[in-house]
Structure 1
Amino acid sequence: MTSVLIVGAGPTGLTLACDLARRGVAVRIIEKTPEFPRSSRAKGPNPRSLEVLEDLGVVDEVMASGSGPLVMRKYRGGQPIADTHPHQGSGPTPDAPYDQGRLIPQWRLEEILRDRLTGYGVSVELGTELTRLTQEDTGVVATIADGRRIEARYLVGCDGGHSAVRKLLGVPFAGRTAEEQVMVCGDVELDGLDRGIWHQWFDEDGAVMLCPIPGTRSGWWFQAGPERDDEGRVVEPSRESFQRLLDRHARIPGLRLTDATLMSTYRVNERMADRYRVGRVFLAGDAAHVHSVAGGLGMNTGIQDAFNLGWKLALVVTGRAGPGLLDSYEEERLPVAAWTLDITSDRQRAVLEAIKEPGGGLDVVATPETTTLGLGYRWSSLSRERDARDGRLRAGDRAPDAPCRDAATGAPTRLFEVFAGPHFTLLGFGPGTAAALRETVEKHGDVVRAYSVDAGPEGLLDDRGHARSAYGTTEDSLVLIRPDDYVGLTAPADGARAVLDYLDGLGR
């Protein structure tokens, strides 16, 4: 019996598999398609997902394989009328090293995650379609289309908006399909356009958008309002229909599409599951929620679902936490999905209004909210304040980064480097925390790494004050960081008991 079976090998499933595998959890991941898709689909990770990918050890490859956000050139009547950079003037800060998302085709991101997973000795099992599942007291039995059975202690459905797992569980997927909001999209090949620009033609009778796909010589993401026949019905997308749309709006003689693949008709769906857990089975990513593409939060919400669930499953299956810890997954992530549906619906309306005006375009979706750096879990049962002070970071908030130095060697380091990996992190600001750090390591050193900050020859030096500034602390105090890099607990310097009670009581 494997510990966790993951159904679906997109970014959500692969993120979860990597996180579990690096924690030593026996994991299998199955995918019904016979070969890995070459779809570009999602345009890339946002700043919070880049932080997740850094923790998983793959962000350097992602950054090298992608590009930063591009200048958006807007046209009217075939003529360029405005260039806009949605992130102009922004930059990384000591507490947030990624201020912009990264453009990278989904297939390349999946390749990077699969390579990392292979390094842990786990491979995606292709051509393996789930057709039935049953639950027992000690696990789940998954039946495959060819009759094989896979037994697992837990199963996670990361199998997309048409999730077989969700359907087999009978979980409702309530919401709406906006039939009036239709788009055709695909990957196309063409030469003759500046590849440093995201070209956007908006006219009264429709729109075409072309964004260059990083890592390709002539590949582009194609999105457009659909062509319709004489009776108003949407024309099935094809290279020819894409060419007609391009000719109508771009009006550039000789600009020809040499290929078009992965074409589809997209209607805005806004739906979410009312439960993320049924017994030993969980839903994550598009299997649990779908929404407008405005804001680029689909893949990112799935990656962040997986990062929330991974450490909890690992602690439970290794016996370091009680099974009740798994209830916090739905408690924390379902409200985030509801927020995501709201914000993407709002951004979709903003785009539809903006493109009616000359110079308006997709840049209206680039708001601070869509970085998801501000999302947290203050409402969670895992967020506990024992040292609430005005101006300081709260339990449930994202744990910020900060540049520091190793107190013993003087070498530069960052809090994110300290946090990275399958463990809790206890920061002790000031010498008054020494006893609490020591007691915590003595009892929970297998799951916690403890670091003093500005407290002597070992630990970390906050010589520029960035860490204290980010965490809002001027007095000696303790901050316990969860494995998914959110603040779990704040406590006074002598709060060892609060830290031990938190760790002892996980899921119990």
Structure 2
Amino acid sequence: MTQDFSTDVLICGAGAAGLTLAIDLARRGVSFRLIEKMDAPFQGSRGKGIQPRTQEVFEDMGILDRVVAAGGLYPPSREYHPDGSHVDSPVMTHTPPTPAEPYGIPLMVPQFLTEGVLRERLAELGHRPAFGCELVAFEQNESGVTARLASAAGEETLRVRFLVGADGGRSFVRHALDIGFPGKTLGVRAVVADVVLSGLEREAWHRFNEGSMDAQMSLCPLAGTQLFQLQAPIPLEGDIDLSAQGLSAMVAARTGRNDIRIHSVSWASAFQMNARLADRYRAVNVLLVGDAAHVHPPTGGQGLNTSVQDACNLGWKLAAVAAGAPKTLLDSYEEERRPVAVEVLGLSTKLLVDAKRGDMRRGREVHQLDLGYPGSSLAMEQPERAGSRLCAGDRAPDAPVRGAAGQPTRLFQLFKGAHWTLLGWETDRRGIAPRSGLHIHTFGDGGELHDDGGHFREAYEPMPGDWVLVRPDGYVGAIVASARIEALEAYLQAVGLGLPH
């Protein structure tokens, strides 16, 4: 029986995860609605770190330069001692770019600026979030979801193929599905506020009473703004005065200085730190992304980045299923992303323990470049690559290469967009038939790419006749020898890249 769907996907929540998913669906031509129950965009700095792996995602989406221009680098940490002296030290490890990893330094971009760039990109693709529109009820069957929405214009009912809950840690969608959200409250309550102040220079992240949970305070200049972000642990119980006057009093008490004055507060929150993970990411045609699926302490800048990459993983799979790929493809979303959340939650919690001791240094472990899906059902090697540096399921490295016409390019430029990419090393491109959604490139005699610097060989370690299939989200899906070409053809069929009938 033919279903009458109003749209393919309803995305509930227009934060970083919902916006990323909307952009990914828009560039794939998938119909969707993006709703947000708040009347206006979020205006806080909460998730201000953009890790190198997310920078790669943003390059693919065509917004990285805008994001970089909107923010900046983390300033050094300036730790003040009781005698009034101070010492500066780097907060983040600065790793020089390499051919395989072009971005090695986390960026500081306040969340409201990042989301502003995402909304601008979405508008370029012809879509906007509907603010002041709330999901108030839904029900589903095997074929789709019926959702009831409420806004100032009244109520409407929408029939969609899929509903995605990107509606935060208190997710209505997750609660309505009765999906468990186990974890723990971490015994830390904190205030975070975006303030205009005087009395401090902007070239450092000012930190006072490090290691003391009763008196600790940090004041960080927010790149791209005239604001500072105030962070301080507070008692587990009791009201906190979040006004400019109240926060000024807190600053004076904790710093021992009367020259730091807070003039205004643009956003403030007092919150309990939690580490929680949803029992499931999917219930038939309803899926969870971002904070609806996992919440993190802010240490290490992992929450927003994990949310963006959830959406990047889910977008191409929803599009493929909407276009006719087997619905079982959606099972791989939870299979791949939930273990990543487990790992990242463990890291964030460990870094919180370090922060309590006054240790704020962050290294490669926060960059998210080493996260991947090697155990995924979508990771195929024929034959297996024992001892290889790169395996199916790993992040696909970048590499500078040269086109046959003489112009330099990069693998990331070839990967950019909504398509799959198939790279052949000393192969005959006639072994794989062209098809929609797949870009084929070959190295070697008669190939259109040349690895003059050996960077592709170093990163991918190909054998003559190897095919490397790179997924739309930038991970290696399959590495297959030409002698096993039938296995590659079966893989392409399973992910919706079969030949047209």
For the aligned pair, the TM-score class normalised by the smaller chain equals over 0.9
**Partner of 1:173 in structure 2?**
181
- The within-5 A match list for 1:99-118 is 99-118=104-123
**Partner of 1:209 in structure 2?**
218
Q: Is the 8 A contact 1:73 1:80 kept in 2?
A: no
1:92 is aligned to 2:97: yes
Query: Secondary structure at 2:79's aligned position in 1?
Result: strand
Q: Is the 8 A contact 2:192 2:231 kept in 1?
A: yes
1:453 is aligned to 2:451: no
**Partner of 2:470 in structure 1?**
481
CA distance in 2 between counterparts of 1:100 and 1:286 reads: 24
**Partner of 2:423 in structure 1?**
427
Q: Which amino acid aligns with 2:375?
A: W
- The within-5 A match list for 1:266-281 is 266-281=271-286
CA distance in 1 between counterparts of 2:442 and 2:487 reads: 17
1:225 is aligned to 2:233: yes
- TM-superposition CA deviations, 1:63-94 (whole Å, max 9, x none): 11110122111112273432111345521111
Q: What is the TM-score of this pair, normalised by structure 1? A: 0.92
**Partner of 2:3 in structure 1?**
none
CA distance in 1 between counterparts of 2:319 and 2:46 reads: 30
- Tell me whether 464-473 or 246-255 shows the greater mean CA deviation: 246-255
Q: Is the 8 A contact 1:227 1:235 kept in 2?
A: no
Structure 2 spans left out of the alignment, 5+ residues: 1-5
1:344 is aligned to 2:348: yes
**Partner of 2:78 in structure 1?**
73
Task: Decide whether aligned partners of structure 1 residues 410 and 103 sit closer, same or farther in structure 2, where only a CA change above 3 A counts.
Answer: same
Q: Percent identity?
A: 41
1:183 is aligned to 2:190: yes
1:398 is aligned to 2:395: yes
**Partner of 1:380 in structure 2?**
376
Q: Which amino acid aligns with 1:418?
A: L
- TM-superposition CA deviations, 1:457-485 (whole Å, max 9, x none): x4211100011101123544111111111
Q: Is the 8 A contact 1:392 1:473 kept in 2?
A: no
CA distance in 2 between counterparts of 1:79 and 1:297 reads: 33
CA distance in 2 between counterparts of 1:267 and 1:137 reads: 38
Q: Which amino acid aligns with 2:132?
A: G
Match of 1:257 among 254, 257, 262: 262
Task: Decide whether aligned partners of structure 1 residues 373 and 413 sit closer, same or farther in structure 2, where only a CA change above 3 A counts.
Answer: same
Task: Decide whether aligned partners of structure 1 residues 454 and 70 sit closer, same or farther in structure 2, where only a CA change above 3 A counts.
Answer: farther
Match of 1:237 among 238, 242, 245: 242
Query: Secondary structure at 2:33's aligned position in 1?
Result: strand
Q: Which amino acid aligns with 2:125?
A: Y
Report the alpha carbon displacement of residue 373 of structure 1 after superposing the two structures with TM: 0.4
Q: Which amino acid aligns with 2:392?
A: A
1:141 is aligned to 2:137: no
Q: Is the 8 A contact 2:382 2:481 kept in 1?
A: yes
Query: Secondary structure at 1:497's aligned position in 2?
Result: helix
Q: Is the 8 A contact 1:441 1:448 kept in 2?
A: no
- Tell me whether 36-45 or 268-277 shows the greater mean CA deviation: 36-45
1:463 is aligned to 2:452: yes
CA distance in 2 between counterparts of 1:170 and 1:474 reads: 49
CA distance in 2 between counterparts of 1:74 and 1:372 reads: 27
- Tell me whether 375-384 or 195-204 shows the greater mean CA deviation: 195-204
Query: Secondary structure at 1:310's aligned position in 2?
Result: helix
Q: Which amino acid aligns with 1:154?
A: F
Query: Secondary structure at 1:362's aligned position in 2?
Result: coil
Query: Secondary structure at 1:90's aligned position in 2?
Result: coil
- The within-5 A match list for 1:262-411 is 262-319=267-324, 321-353=325-357, 355=358, 361-363=359-361, 366-387=362-383, 388-407=385-404, 409-411=405-407
Q: Is the 8 A contact 1:386 1:492 kept in 2?
A: yes
Q: Which amino acid aligns with 1:147?
A: E
Task: Decide whether aligned partners of structure 1 residues 80 and 92 sit closer, same or farther in structure 2, where only a CA change above 3 A counts.
Answer: farther
- TM-superposition CA deviations, 1:16-75 (whole Å, max 9, x none): 000010001011100001111211111131111111111111111011111012211111
CA distance in 2 between counterparts of 1:398 and 1:26 reads: 28
Q: Which amino acid aligns with 1:500?
A: E
Match of 2:482 among 469, 480, 493: 493
Q: Is the 8 A contact 1:398 1:486 kept in 2?
A: yes
- Tell me whether 290-299 or 232-241 shows the greater mean CA deviation: 232-241
Query: Secondary structure at 2:262's aligned position in 1?
Result: coil
- TM-superposition CA deviations, 1:202-224 (whole Å, max 9, x none): 254411111111222x3111101
**Partner of 2:40 in structure 1?**
35
Q: Is the 8 A contact 2:50 2:108 kept in 1?
A: yes
- TM-superposition CA deviations, 1:342-387 (whole Å, max 9, x none): 111111112212x2xxxxx312xx1322111000111110001113
| Alignment: residue pair count | 486
Q: Is the 8 A contact 2:189 2:235 kept in 1?
A: no
Report the alpha carbon displacement of residue 197 of structure 1 after superposing the two structures with TM: 1.1
CA distance in 2 between counterparts of 1:58 and 1:43 reads: 16
Q: Is the 8 A contact 2:52 2:106 kept in 1?
A: yes
Match of 1:414 among 410, 420, 434: 410
- Tell me whether 386-395 or 259-268 shows the greater mean CA deviation: 386-395
Report the alpha carbon displacement of residue 136 of structure 1 after superposing the two structures with TM: 2.6
Task: Decide whether aligned partners of structure 1 residues 98 and 78 sit closer, same or farther in structure 2, where only a CA change above 3 A counts.
Answer: farther
**Partner of 1:199 in structure 2?**
206
- TM-superposition CA deviations, 1:414-470 (whole Å, max 9, x none): 10110111111111112xx11xx334233xx202111112333x4211100011101
Report the alpha carbon displacement of residue 244 of structure 1 after superposing the two structures with TM: 1.8
Q: What is the TM-score of this pair, normalised by structure 2? A: 0.93
CA distance in 1 between counterparts of 2:9 and 2:19 reads: 13
Q: Which amino acid aligns with 1:404?
A: V
1:157 is aligned to 2:165: yes
**Partner of 1:12 in structure 2?**
17
CA distance in 2 between counterparts of 1:425 and 1:477 reads: 14
**Partner of 1:358 in structure 2?**
none
Q: Is the 8 A contact 2:19 2:115 kept in 1?
A: yes
- TM-superposition CA deviations, 1:102-141 (whole Å, max 9, x none): 1111111111111111112111011001110110332111
Report the alpha carbon displacement of residue 389 of structure 1 after superposing the two structures with TM: 4.1
- Tell me whether 87-96 or 261-270 shows the greater mean CA deviation: 87-96
Q: Which amino acid aligns with 1:265?
A: A
Q: Is the 8 A contact 2:92 2:106 kept in 1?
A: no
Structure 1 spans left out of the alignment, 5+ residues: 356-360
Q: Which amino acid aligns with 1:375?
A: L
Query: Secondary structure at 1:200's aligned position in 2?
Result: strand
CA distance in 2 between counterparts of 1:130 and 1:173 reads: 20
Report the alpha carbon displacement of residue 245 of structure 1 after superposing the two structures with TM: 2.1
Task: Decide whether aligned partners of structure 1 residues 429 and 246 sit closer, same or farther in structure 2, where only a CA change above 3 A counts.
Answer: same
- Tell me whether 303-312 or 119-128 shows the greater mean CA deviation: 119-128
Query: Secondary structure at 1:13's aligned position in 2?
Result: helix
CA distance in 2 between counterparts of 1:420 and 1:210 reads: 38
